[in-house]
Chain A
Amino acid sequence: MRKDKWIPYGLVAPYILHFAVFVAFPVVFSVVLTFHRWNIISPMEFIGLDNYVRLFKDRLFWQAIYNTLRFLVVHIPLQIVVALALAELLNRTVRGASFFRAAFFLPVIVSGVVVTILWQQLLGYNLGLLNRLLTAVSLPRVAWLDDPDIAMYSIAVMATWKNVGLYVILFLVGLQTVPAQYYEAADLEGATDWQKFRYITLPMINPTIFTVVVLSTIGGFSLFIEPYIMTEGGPLNSTLSAVMYIYQQAFQYYHMGYSATLGFFFALLILGVVMLQRRYIEQEN
């Protein structure tokens, strides 16, 4: 009997161990770090709230936050509109729907590095395909990645292309849960395609829209690979994302304490935004 008593604990032990080492400890340790100065080599030095004070005065960090928000403002609506439009098309009985479904999903599973390098070729100033097409029709070249006013939006379009397949699948599932009878009833009421979409589809897939907004917000906030490879945060720090800045602080300058502070603050920011979104969508309902 006594032996049996320990079996459940034994069974959950691997998970608890994993959780403690890879989740709980890093979280607690990074909170502790926010009150210290540490460059990995020298011993940690307690500095109280200095890191937080520095954060609020750090113009580059706020620039990175602003850049990330600029990215999100384009990326999230674009992602939703494109994904929903593609899902609507696939939801109709089009020929080769399964091919398109796979094709749209392909970029999601391809490595972000590969996709980024591919788009670098597309968007290059002199030899990029897009600019060659523009010059072919006698239009001026565009500095897709070299103009501080444009670069972040180019990255947003690329990130949308990379991720949209996932959201197409989510929307497709959402659309297929809307019973056909609602559309039939609306047909009899004289609704046009747009009215059916506006008054039936949109309200009924609201939960899916919320999921997509939250997922792409969280995903968008962690923007890193694309600017890191394509622009290294330039030109003039215009594509420096928050996560990239946190990474630089930690692994280029070894400001581990400050980097942890930025990370901690940034996590709170994401939480706040997602909670706001949730409240807004609940009100809408």
Chain B
Amino acid sequence: MSNIPNDLRYTKSHEWVRAGKDGAVEIGISDHAQGALGDLVFVEVPEPGRSLSAGEACAVVESVKAASDVYCPVSGKVTAGNPALAAQPELLNQDPYGAGWLFRLQISAPIDDAALMSAAGYANFLAAEGH
């Protein structure tokens, strides 16, 4: 059973969103996603200053096996990409909700709550998908 922290919100494409103060958010991929991908060996995060729309492919995570796109869960402007992932992509496997965060964003529009799931909602979604 994968770890699904209660204080985060989730997408159907397995990203998580941590809302901070004044519209700052942190984004990563779920424990389930990192487990399904396997050992990650390359991560490409968006450059600071880049404007992203919700649903836009904005990062790439590659395991030994395959490359997968990460979709931005909310709209906004990138404030930081996780600099540690270039040298240590395995942080994403080891600590997907902490040291393995992907990028930070200043939102440009209120978060569309209908597009995101709570921890319980995401757990149900995974169960329904047969995980």
A pairs with B: no
